Structure 1
Amino acid sequence: MDLGLFIVGLGLITGFLLITMVFGIRERKTRRKVYFIKEATALGSLTGITNVALSGPEFNPLGLASDLILRITLSFWVLTFALMGLFFMALRQEFPDWRVASLVTFLGTTTIICGFASLSQPALEGNILALVWKAGFALYSIVVFLHGARVFHEANQRQADRRSAVIALSLVTISISYVINVVLYDVPNFQGTPLLTGLSVEMVLDLLRISMMLMIVIALITDIEYMYRLPVDVYSISVIRDSGVYLYSYGHDPDVSDPGLLSSAICAMSLFMKETSKSASSLRRVSTSNRAILIEPREDEGVIFVAVVERATLVLLRSLQLFADQFVQRYPRETYSDIVNPEDYADASQLVYTAFPFLKRCDVAE
């Protein structure tokens, strides 16, 4: 039995399942969906199972060849990293970047196909396909992790924080490790002239990647919500009656001198759009070159929820919807009044922190 592979596999199973459980508990407690990353960690646990199967025949009841198990393992990693990439995109934008998504899809598909195809080809062709398989996976991983590093680097630029810097640096290091793996191990082995003998380059780089993953976990362990750190400025979050009266506001947009103008404008635009378009749907968004006003109406309750942000992202949109759901549940329509007492909505900030967890560490823009 290969004890190293067994320990790594067991660690992957335990670690990924524990993280999945934490995400599941948080999702159930806050009613805020953990987009993509929970599924990624659940799928990642399967890579641990295949690693255990590689460690010895006693853990391989199906008797699969080790080369086949390796390709199954890498296929699981491709799918896991794809979900991680979608999570990174959800933090940064509303829809996936089609250029990045297309590149990742092409590389991931090519990697999986070449990996399995290499098993049925003659020696030379099989070796070439195996090299493409490994190099393709490395490039695929680099694209995903560098995109994630970009997200946390941009977040750190908006508000400097050691944790976001650590996460970004760890993701960059993981990306570099895949380059080193191809240059120092895969290509020389394909040529039959390994550069380093007596040293398992793959094992060293695997340990490096695991250590970087641990750095990310350590950075998040004190506050798991920090993973939602957005590379987008959030200026204000408001609750407005359909009459234009402010009920509650969190933060302040420095470019808006009179918040009442915003509420009046939104109510007027909503009415105008309904009258001119003859549509039953409500105004949902107003965008400019450097601002996006996200609007979540609750017509049955007579209130409108508004977030003024730098740009829309999937996480922000879902957070505003969750805040709206929680607010109308906490403060029914009969509690609203045209004469607003701030004390009436003193607990609303806690609802903001639940729906917008990143505001705990990345407060509204000054």
Structure 2
Amino acid sequence: MTQIADLPHFIITTIITALFFVLFGLMLYQTLRKNRKAYVLTISIFVGGLGGILGMLQDLLAGASRYLLFYSLIVWSICYFLIYLFFEELDTSKPNRLRLVVASILFMASILFNQLFLFIPGVSGSIIESLTNPTLISFFEDFSIFKRTLELMWDGAYDGLGVFIFVFGAYVHFKSYKTNRELIPLFQAIALIFIGIGFISGFTGDVVRGVDFDFGLVGDALKIVGMLVFSLIYIIRVDFIYRLPVDVFFIMVFTKTGLNVHISRVRNPRRKEWETITDRKTNENLLSALISAVSGLMKESLGSEKPLETIVAKDRTFVLDSGDLATCAVLCERPTFFLERSIKILRKSVENQFHDSLKKSAINKADFDEVEQLIREVFPFLVIEQEIKL
């Protein structure tokens, strides 16, 4: 019978691994059956599950535990970096360059110092055993002091990566709470802060040794609590995987000639009395015709070969996607990756499903009753209130 070196660690790792694979199954189902695609997050969860398996094997296979520990931490670093990219997708249309550079440097440093710490001490020990010159032996014995410095650099890069990513994730989810006034993103932000503090405590334990307080154990406990809370929220309320930290006002569908097909507003409890542009009695047909006119001006009079993609004000942005038959638009505070991708999916779905109706010279809105349900499916991260009738 296999003797487990650290039974509590094995049990905790098994629970976390099981949670990751439950989440992966949930995300795979959402991707394949519900058209809720978050590829980066799905891959990161799968990679995290692989890291958990390596952690379990570390406790089961004592002879290879050193190598399994190091490579499981590399896999976890990859998982964290992918989670960072997902947080960027929630917040922006493209990753912030400065944040991306910082995350990339910490990610590469954690892998580099991981491998150096794994192999260099063994190499220096082998060299010492083969030497006979006392001076050289003394040099390489002093060189072994480098091991401690290397260990701290590795721990600093790995834990720094974790702190940076999960504090940024907490910031994104706190912005989502401020934007939407929903409590669940606030709980998610707190859970992510717990994980970030766990990394800080873990690094403190690596630096401060010889004290009675176990910083490493406290750090692991904080990370586990944060991961459990965050994972359970995703499992119970899958829609909160995609909640955006930006305000979204309404979604429009209209023909290439500017005839309005459908307009739905997005619920946000923060906005008093549904304060949107449409509540100010802006005519929907005038709005769609105006956008079509600007797009036509850019193409026909100003020589643009590409369709109009955005109309930007300081605090409002129209995100547009145009095809051969229809244009879809979303009015939002600022564009994000998921908004831009979803508006493209909506336009393609509308053109495929309502191809014949869109070709008619006169639009009968009754032919497009199913557009609202299509919008709900394509924008699972928004609460679609109703079709606007003006």
- Structures share fold, TM-score greater than 0.5: yes
Match of 2:10 in 1: 6
Contact persistence 1:319–1:355 (CA under 8 A): yes
Match of 2:300 in 1: 275
The match for 2:258 among 244, 251, 272 is: 244
254-263 or 351-360: which moved more? 254-263
> 5+ residue gaps in structure 1?
none
Q: Percent identity?
A: 23
| Residues 320-364 of structure 1: per-residue CA shift (max 9 Å, x gap) | 111122222332233665655544333222111111111138999
What is the CA–CA distance in structure 1 between the aligned matches of 2:384 and 2:79, rounded to whole Å?
27
What is the CA–CA distance in structure 2 between the aligned matches of 1:361 and 1:242, rounded to whole Å?
24
Amino acid at match of 1:208: L
| Residues 25-69 of structure 1: per-residue CA shift (max 9 Å, x gap) | 111113342131000011011211221122133xx6xx43x3332
1:297 aligns with 2:322: yes
What is the CA–CA distance in structure 1 between the aligned matches of 2:13 and 2:233, rounded to whole Å?
23
Match of 1:93 in 2: 92
Residues 52, 130 of structure 1: CA spacing in aligned structure 2 closer, same or farther, 3 A cutoff? same
Which runs of structure 2 are paired with 1:33-48 in the superposition (5 Å)? 33-48=37-52
Contact persistence 1:286–1:293 (CA under 8 A): yes
What is the CA–CA distance in structure 1 between the aligned matches of 2:225 and 2:52, rounded to whole Å?
16
Match of 1:108 in 2: 107
The match for 1:230 among 240, 244, 269 is: 244
Match of 2:75 in 1: 76
Amino acid at match of 1:7: I
Contact persistence 1:225–1:357 (CA under 8 A): yes
Contact persistence 1:114–1:132 (CA under 8 A): yes
Local SS of the residue matching 1:352 = helix
The match for 2:234 among 216, 220, 228 is: 220
Match of 2:271 in 1: none
Match of 1:313 in 2: 336
Q: Number of aligned residue pairs: give it.
A: 350
224-233 or 353-362: which moved more? 353-362
Rg larger in structure: 2
234-243 or 29-38: which moved more? 29-38
Amino acid at match of 2:332: V
Match of 1:351 in 2: 374
Deviation for aligned residue 1:3: 1.6
Residues 52, 124 of structure 1: CA spacing in aligned structure 2 closer, same or farther, 3 A cutoff? same
Local SS of the residue matching 2:93 = coil
Deviation for aligned residue 1:168: 0.6
> 5+ residue gaps in structure 2?
122-142, 266-275
Residues 67, 49 of structure 1: CA spacing in aligned structure 2 closer, same or farther, 3 A cutoff? same
Contact persistence 2:198–2:221 (CA under 8 A): no
Deviation for aligned residue 1:233: 1.0
What is the CA–CA distance in structure 1 between the aligned matches of 2:111 and 2:38, rounded to whole Å?
27
Deviation for aligned residue 1:73: 1.7
Match of 2:162 in 1: 141
Match of 2:126 in 1: none
| Residues 287-338 of structure 1: per-residue CA shift (max 9 Å, x gap) | 2211211111121xx2111111111111101111111222223322336656
92-101 or 28-37: which moved more? 28-37
Contact persistence 2:113–2:151 (CA under 8 A): yes
Contact persistence 2:177–2:185 (CA under 8 A): yes
Q: Which runs of 4+ in 1 moved over 4 A?
A: 335-342, 361-364
Which runs of structure 2 are paired with 1:115-130 in the superposition (5 Å)? 115-119=114-118, 120-121=120-121, 122-130=143-151
What is the CA–CA distance in structure 1 between the aligned matches of 2:231 and 2:114, rounded to whole Å?
31
Residues 282, 151 of structure 1: CA spacing in aligned structure 2 closer, same or farther, 3 A cutoff? same
Match of 2:201 in 1: 180
Deviation for aligned residue 1:164: 0.7
What is the CA–CA distance in structure 2 between the aligned matches of 1:216 and 1:336, rounded to whole Å?
47
Contact persistence 1:5–1:54 (CA under 8 A): no
What is the CA–CA distance in structure 1 between the aligned matches of 2:373 and 2:335, rounded to whole Å?
22
What is the CA–CA distance in structure 2 between the aligned matches of 1:84 and 1:26, rounded to whole Å?
18
Q: Scaled by the length of structure 1, what TM-score is found?
A: 0.88
1:322 aligns with 2:345: yes
CA RMSD across the alignment: 2.3
Deviation for aligned residue 1:259: 2.9
What is the CA–CA distance in structure 1 between the aligned matches of 2:56 and 2:95, rounded to whole Å?
34
